[in-house]
Amino acid sequence: MIDLHQHTNCSDGLLSVQETIEIFVGNSGKTIAITDHDTFKSQLEAKSLCDKFGIEYVFGVELSTIYKNQSVHVLGYFPNYPSDSIVKYIEHQTIISAVKRIRSNASDWPIGHYPIEEIIRLIHSSNGIAILAHPVMYKLLLNDLISIIDGLECINPAQDVKFTEELIQICRDKNLYCTFGTDFHGNLGGDNSNYNALYTKYHYIIEPFISEIKIRAI
């Protein structure tokens, strides 16, 4: 099994990095990416644990961006640990958000929301690939976004099969990468309840993406 969209308690997940990866290994996982929101804190620990368990790790992050005044989540995937430019940029923006949160006395102040074009540029500067997370949330923006993104998260248990097939066809037509993931946050039996069936049916669509990540890592 391959899962390229998981969260830990380094952002808004319920479980630690180790607990998350141990569950994945217990489910016969093969390749995983931890994509915590707007932080790279989990990456080195996750890579070390995956090396220990003998599974493949893809460095990843889920970044909160703005496109046409709407919040859009972009998944960044990297063949190696991301460059200082994107890590420092995210850390700086997080500090700014924290200061604004304190000054406004608002506990729900958003952490990020960076311009999407800037985030995609930074992902590319780290030899990374920019993927639109859970496209089902951005149906009205999809035609615009596919012109600036590298690929779509085609498989997500939260969307219906018809839309999944539409996304796969878009990627074929536009020569975009397909990925898939559970968006797992630690609620066992929720995020990945029907994921094994989806993986069995659509596992072939992710092969070009995995191959490209491996080539870029050389």
Q: Measure CA 116 to chain center.
A: 14
Provide the pLDDT confidence category of residue 196 given band limits of 50, 70 and 90.
confident
pLDDT number for residue 98: 66
Mean pLDDT of 88-113: 67
Answer yes or no: pTM beyond 0.75.
yes
Q: What is the pLDDT of residues 52-80, one digit of tens each?
A: 999 999 999 999 999 998 999 999 999 99
pLDDT number for residue 190: 45
